Amino acid sequence: MSKDFFSLEKPTFSFEIFPPKGEGNLKTVYDTVDALASLSPDLISVTYGAGGSSRENTAVIASDIQTKYNVPALAHLTCISSTKEEMDEILKELKEKGVENILAMRGDVTDTAKVGDFKHANELVSYIKANYDFRVFAACYPEKHTEAYSMAEDLRYLKQKVDAGADALITQLFFDNEVFYNFMDKVRGVGIDVPVIAGIMPITAASQLERMVSMCGASIPKEIQQFVKAYGHNSMAMKEAGIAYATKQIIDLLANGVDGIHIYTMNKPEVAKRIVENLRGILYALKVKRA
Ligand code: FAD
């Protein structure tokens, strides 16, 4: 029986992985899970079709994390092109497989996506809460969602998602902690009081930064621009700079009382491991009562 994520003291420390495309690469993802589980995280999340990764394997991998590794698992789930019947099928499978936590999202709208029964994430959150017994997480955006006209509008819908039953929020990646602190003031200001877990992506290659920025529009502090310019052509130096920046970002977040840290590992456990090693003393001190 694994821990209940919601009974843990804050700050929590967790990781995101993505399932591979096709059966062939499943072993690689289990190597990643092995390495991450050995770092004793409070939760590991598994994406659903993000960045072209497979959807089929999300439930199986999340189930194994929860039941075989005894680490709380969070299965991502998107609803935009699904009918209620299709959602029921997936939700029943997750329940049967022992998964207890779901990150309920709309998903990206594409020209080719078929229209389903859910228009926005709040509808999926309500549906899950009304019909199933899961802990539900939802996504939030410190620099607002790219489709939202304004932060005020995005926050209004975020509040609706929480009022629909979201138990916790995980942020889109951000590189500037001030952006996060401003966002948190606004989140608490509109009356959202659930835990908000900060999503941190270590940037270990220049190409990764370009891809991420074009996908989610995160602003890039001058410090990152400078080290990418200086070290972008040198993979080893770039990796070290990315690890150091993420470590520094997390230390500052912990010092400012963040509810939790969620590392987007990009299935690179060695990077996550280096960050955890850098933080070991602080994490131990903060969680000493939990040990
Ligand atoms: P919503 O909450 O529905 O919001 C989308 C937009 O609609 C926003 O602009 C919002 O302001 C607006 N809006 C919200 N509710 C309403 C409403 N009721 N009426 C009108 N407008 C509304 N994608 C994947 O495909 N797979 C993944 O595994 C995945 N994991 C992610 C993990 C995290 C932590 C984050 C932050 C994102 C992830 N995504 C993933 C991306 C996500 O699917 C996209 O950002 C998607 O475009 C929005 O999903 P959402 O649940 O935030 O949508």
Long-range contacts of 152-156 (CB under 8 A, 24+ apart): 155/186, 155/187, 155/190, 155/192, 156/190
The token duo for 185 is 């003031």
Q: Is the per-residue pLDDT at 124 higher than 90?
A: yes
CA-CA-CA-CA torsion for 210, 169, 39, 238, nearest 10 degrees?
20
In this prediction, residues 188-192 reach a mean pLDDT of 98
User: Across the strands, what pairs with 75?
Assistant: 46, 102
Q: Is the per-residue pLDDT at 5 higher than 60?
A: yes
Pocket around ligand 1 at a 6 A CB cut-off: 47-50, 76, 78, 103, 105-108, 120-122, 139, 145, 147-148, 153-154, 157, 160-161, 170, 172, 199
pLDDT in tens, 142-166: 999 999 999 999 999 999 999 999 9
- Give residue 83's pLDDT: 94
d(CA 97, CA 110): 30
How remote is the CA of residue 279 from the centroid of ligand 1, in Å? 31
Side chain identity at 18, as an amino acid letter? Answer: F
pLDDT in tens, 16-43: 999 987 666 788 899 999 999 999 999 9
Whole-structure pTM value:
0.97
Question: Of the residues 18, 76, 120, which should be mutated to test ligand 1's pocket, given the most ligand atoms within 8 Å of the CB?
Answer: 120
16 catalytic residue (yes or no): yes
Lowest mean pLDDT of 75-84, 116-125, 138-147, 214-223, name the range. 214-223
Q: With bands split at pLDDT 50, 70 and 90, how would you rate the model's confidence at 54?
A: confident
How remote is the CA of residue 222 from the centroid of ligand 1, in Å? 28
- Give residue 73's pLDDT: 97
User: Across the strands, what pairs with 140?
Assistant: 171
d(CA 107, CA 256): 31
d(CA 105, CA 108): 9
How remote is the CA of residue 259 from the centroid of ligand 1, in Å? 21
Q: Is the per-residue pLDDT at 291 higher than 60?
A: no
Average pLDDT, the chain: 93
- The residue annotated as part of the active site, out of 9, 16, 89, 277, is 16
pLDDT in tens, 131-140: 999 999 999 9
In this structure, the number of other CB atoms found within 10 A of the CB of residue 142 comes to 25
In this prediction, residues 1-16 reach a mean pLDDT of 89
- Give residue 96's pLDDT: 97
Helices (H), the chain: 26-37, 56-67, 84-96, 121-131, 151-163, 177-189, 206-216, 222-231, 235-255, 269-286
How remote is the CA of residue 121 from the centroid of ligand 1, in Å? 6
Q: Is the per-residue pLDDT at 191 higher than 80?
A: yes
